Amino acid sequence: MNSRVSAIEALQAKLGYQFKEAVRLEEALTHASLSQGSRKIVNNERLEFLGDRLLNLLVAERLMQLHPDAREGDLSKRLHVLVSRETCARVGGDIGIGPALRLPGGETRRGAREQDTLLADAMEAVIAAIYLDSGLEVLRDVFLPLWDTEISAVQNTGFANPKSALQEWAAARKLPAPAYEVVSREGPDHAPVFTVAVSVKGLEPERAQGRSRQEAEKAAATALLRREDIQ
């Protein structure tokens, strides 16, 4: 048994789902670069398109169950985090999609199996493949354990990755990406305090502090996301 066959078996074990039609999973794991110049090889782009829509549905459904009284704006912020490329890539990496991907040799040598974009696209494609293989009810049963950790993180902190959440929020409204600026750096070298301002077109900037620039940026993004004028 070669390493990729083993990886596919391990992936199905992590999914908790065994495909009835193996060809569906194979399509979901086939990167577009492999089908260039060949019409015989079907890649995962169409499944990715469908999987993206299914993921949005499943996440929205789960958030509404967990937050029956939440406003649309708050639900939208959480949804953007949970369907983001970073989240999909993280889930895909955790269940072993990378080793199971079907890629040209050159892509493998340059580390494509660990790239967020490929992992996220394949994760969405796998979601669509399960749906086509067994329907929405079965897909829902597979999805919930996969996204449980990510949903819990959003529940506990408000935003698992506030910078990504803010960027997704801006992109969804066709606004430029948020801009971060270090306003000040105070304190000794061993215990600095950074003040960072984040701005999004059309909104008043928000400031926050942190022990590092990254921490301050996350705090500023979180503060902006929690404002009442963010819908």
Helix (H, G, I), strand (E, B) or coil at 105: helix
Catalytic residues: 52, 124
Domains and CATH numbers, the chain: 3-159 (1.10.1520.10), 164-225 (3.30.160.20)
Cα separation, 188 vs 218, in Å, equals 22
Tracing tokens 């990755």 back to the chain, one arrives at 161
Sheet holding 206-210, edge to edge: 179-186, 193-199, 206-210
Spatial CA neighbour of 92 closest among 121, 123, 117: 123
84 in helix, strand or coil?
coil
pLDDT (tens, 9 = 90+) of the chain, 231 residues, equals: 578 899 999 999 999 999 999 999 999 999 877 666 556 678 899 999 999 999 999 999 999 999 998 888 878 878 888 888 888 988 999 999 999 998 876 666 566 778 888 999 999 999 999 999 999 999 999 999 999 988 887 775 556 578 888 888 888 888 899 999 999 998 887 778 899 999 999 999 999 888 888 888 888 888 888 776 675
Helix H or strand E encompassing 122 = helix 116-134
Which phi-psi region, left, alpha or beta, contains residue 174 (left: φ > 0; alpha: ψ -120 to 50)? left
What does residue 17 show for φ and ψ, rounded to 5 degrees? Answer: -145, 130
Judging by beta carbons within 10 Å of its beta carbon (0-12, 13-18, 19+), is residue 225 exposed, middle or buried? buried
Q: Which of 109, 92, 91, 85 is nearest to 171 (CA)?
A: 85
